[in-house]
Structure 1
Amino acid sequence: MSLDWNDRKADSIALGSEVGKLRKVLLHRPELSLKHLTPGNCQSLLFDDVLRIEQAGKEHDAFQKVLTDNGVEVFLLTKLLAETLNFSNAKSWILDRQINNYRFGETLAMEVRSYLESLDNLTLARHLTGGLTCAEMGANSKSMTLDRMSETDFLIEPIPNHLFTRDTSCWVYGGVSINPMAKNPRKRETVHLRAIYKFHPMFKNAEFLTYMGNEDCNYDNATIEGGDVLVLGRGNVLIGMSERTTPQGVEQLSRALLKTGQARKIIALELPKARSCMHLDTVFTQMDIDCFTYYPDIMHADTDCWELTLGEHEKVETNRVHDGFTHAIARALDVPELRLIPTGGDVFEAEREQWNDANNVLTIEPGVIVTYERNVNTIRNMEEAGIKVLAIPGEELGRGRGGARCMSCPIQRDGI
């Protein structure tokens, strides 16, 4: 595929940049998964807190409204998954990868599968993403596995982190990476996205590449999550190596991007392996062609940085950057220098606002971003820099440790 975005079809599924006009986006409104969260299980499910369900839903609705009011077409994961399940081959494909004898034992596996196949497709989609307990199914098979379970034990565990659609799959120019997730509680997310991209009519007949993640294999240490991937534009991609994204994962994705001609340069950054900056987009996000929000305590001038390009015989060449990551990005974007807008407030306020996703913003067109209204000091800095801020409530959603960028998977966006 060509990197010339002027040649693509107007309605094609493709992502030309991080800040061009956003056309289509995939979101997930959390419901059943939040109902199944408790103080006793949220940590094991990789969720930081127990949210007020109705309020979180209202806040997500407000997020959707801001997007639709600004011309963005919103698709919801549960609806797409239910529509995918309408196809019998798709339903079999999904259940084959989640219900098996090794997970449940033969007797219980048969009962679980039979129950799931009896559900209407919307209810099935909700349970696949939100979880299913023994009591909800009314399980009564003569199974040793079931005998050792209580009524509130999960036969299918909830996936509350499906809320963060950015991570599971990320679109980069003319294709998608269906990401091998780092943590076990999130690995089933990729089954749902693989199925949607493989069977749903919106994607089945579309022309796009799949860079990685679309195989039934063990990706071992090659993990990557979309919060670490920024599509800078003009054939460049920025990837953070974080708590969840490994150098092996970066190499795998970079090789596919470079060999298919979808990117000409990958810039890789080293990040601390810390919960407070789990992904690159929690400390560094693009708001305009030359403008980024950043958290100074993490994003230092001497942050280790590499450039990956395609050399002779299609070999990926890796070279360390010696003059700093900001210079590498400025060169890639062909701008004199970057405008860097720091997290706002004093040292205490800045740390709190970074924790509350002040730097995790979703750009919907150059210089226009969506962010949580609670981060008043950072919003002030952005507005003083000429950025238009569309603020949304996030008192509950923000407790899940993810902002507007985390909660969105753009599937169509203009280039720059």
Structure 2
Amino acid sequence: MTPPPRSMVAVDHRAVERLAGRRRELRQVTLVWAALFLNVLTFAGPTVLPIPAGWGQMVTQGALLGALGLALVVNARGLVQVNLFLVLLSMLAVVSLMVSLHSEFLLGSTYRACRYLLFLLVLWLLTPWFGRRDMLLLRCHLRVLWVLLGVVLAGAAVAPGVAFAFQGRLSGVLWPIWPTQVAHYAAVLLGAYALLWACRMVSNRQVVIAVVTAGTVLVLTHTRTALLALVVGACVAGASLFLGHVRVRRTSALGAVVVVVVATVFSPQLADWAMRGQTPEEASQLTGRTKVWTAALRAPRPRVEEMFGSGVSNQSFNGMPIDSNWVATYLDQGWFGLVVHACVLVVLLLVAATRERGPHRAVGVFLVVYCLTASFTETGLVSATPYLLDLTVAAALLAAGASGGVGGPRWRQEAAGWT
């Protein structure tokens, strides 16, 4: 047999080196992303492991310094790309720090503001990976979500009584994760995989595993906000692919039929699941949230606090959780913060409107719409929370240039390397 030419051998070696470099890069950025995620996992709630609360909080807060160190290793030259999304967040963070210096709770408020600035610094160091055609940040995001769901399911298998102790809703007990957070991770994972499958980026086997696992977890958490946000986000993102992909049209038609049949046959069970044992009055008040919102908005405040807020807080009012991004923003950052929050979402949606159909735009739109829908009963849209990480992934995806169309050769090449 005639040996291959030397040029072909050299090309193969270069291809192997490039592949090894990409895998190494994926591992390094995943470690940074995992450290950021650990930082936003609040250590509060039941756990079956003998971890003192103080130690758990030290781990989560110390993870931010670990993320910064890892980011400096990955981006040793300190290169950054200008990104309007992060510019708006940085402007808001600086103003929040200035207001926190005059806050009634000086130490706590200033400490939170400084940690938020440090969090944004790590995100700035990751901007060289924004706009990647291989969706590197999304891959890192999904990997971390798989690990978190694995931890939750392992805890349910080890101590099911503790895992379902909170009103019969699934929560994390190896590491304390509240049901609403578990549902958030499951919904984002499920929606992202469904859209990637529609764009032929993942196989049938992968999407079945994701849908079964994440869907089961989502149902067991009994979280209405995550389910509603998933449906709205998936519908809007799917509409962006509707005219360009026959798989999306077929799936939409089949899904509509399934929804009608399930809603007709299992309507009593679905109503019981949605009510969670609450009375109609409790459900209409969103489990007491509206009472807290009304009290917070009616509280008298100086004019300057109405404009710029009272500093970064723990997003509570009189000891009660606010559970609304917009009400919490008004209290912490005033009308200025509300305007910046709205601008962040509008910028991401306008950027998405300029992108052609494809997985980058579809998943990016899903994440933005998901966060926007959930923001009415969840806090932390543009603070150091998992929601900010979702929006950062969306910004990274939408930073990609115009695509070559859904299902084209370029997408198939990317799908072949998806891990």
TM-score (norm 2): 0.30
- The one of the two structures with greater contact order (alpha-carbon pairs below 8 A, sep at least 6) is 1
Report which of the two has the higher share of strand.
1
Q: TM-score, with normalisation over the residues of structure 1?
A: 0.30
- Rg larger in structure: 2
Structure that is richer in helix per residue: 2
